[in-house]
Amino acid sequence: MSEIELGHGQLVLVGEEGTPGDSHGLSLLPACSLQIVISYLLNTALIVVDVQNDFADPKGSLFVPGGDAVVPRVNIEVMRALSAGAFVVYTQDWHPESTPHFEKDGGIWPVHCVQGTWGAEFHPGLELSGPIVQNGANGEDGYSGFTMRDPISGKETPTALRGMLDERGIEKVVVVGLALDWCVKETALDAVKDYETSVIPDASASVDLEPGDGQRAIEEMRKSGVTIG
């Protein structure tokens, strides 16, 4: 196995070793695949996006296919981050009973993550070890953990997330959680404007309102400078 340093993580080539005396190096490695292993440092923040019952439990009103399987994978990243002394922060969808975000009020989504309900609670299997940034509490729209948008005027206002990162001197961000093609994507696209940003698709899952939305989200993030781990 051979490793190459690559910014936020390591580019690891995984496969059988070349034959003895092989002078062509990596080009002759059979069954070789590339995997980026994300590393955590003191100046890194892990942002865990919306791992809540309505998204991560099959009984949830907006269950993301595979969302329940994401929870243990997210927990691995939480423990890796904490063991390295990195900062871990959680976003939480936190809607009122009525909001233009919901289909019944003119939006596109079923009612979900209503304040104080089971659906809005974090999945019980999630390792919760950091502060929480709630989003949408006053009926705001938007999908990024960094901003909220007034559904009428479209005006964006910041959440507390950026301030938390900046006061800790964060330079690198890793984003995991739900859903890959919505809140994870939008959070990463906002983050990469100011921080070295990575997303771990294995620690996420896609809604896929349209087939292929998840893969298109990955390509959009990659083109914007996000490292896909």
- Tell me the domains of the chain and their CATH numbers: 1-38 (no CATH), 40-228 (3.40.50.850)
Tens-level pLDDT at each residue, the chain (229 residues):
333 333 455 444 434 333 334 433 333 334 444 567 899 999 999 999 999 999 999 999 999 999 999 999 999 999 999 999 999 999 999 999 988 889 998 889 999 999 999 999 999 999 999 999 999 888 887 899 999 988 778 888 999 999 999 999 999 999 999 999 999 999 999 999 999 999 999 999 999 999 999 999 999 999 999 999 9
Task: Write down the pTM of the prediction.
Answer: 0.86
Q: What is the pLDDT of residue 3?
A: 37
Q: What is the pLDDT of residue 119?
A: 98
CA dist 113 and 179 (Å) reads 14
Q: What is the pLDDT of residue 152?
A: 76
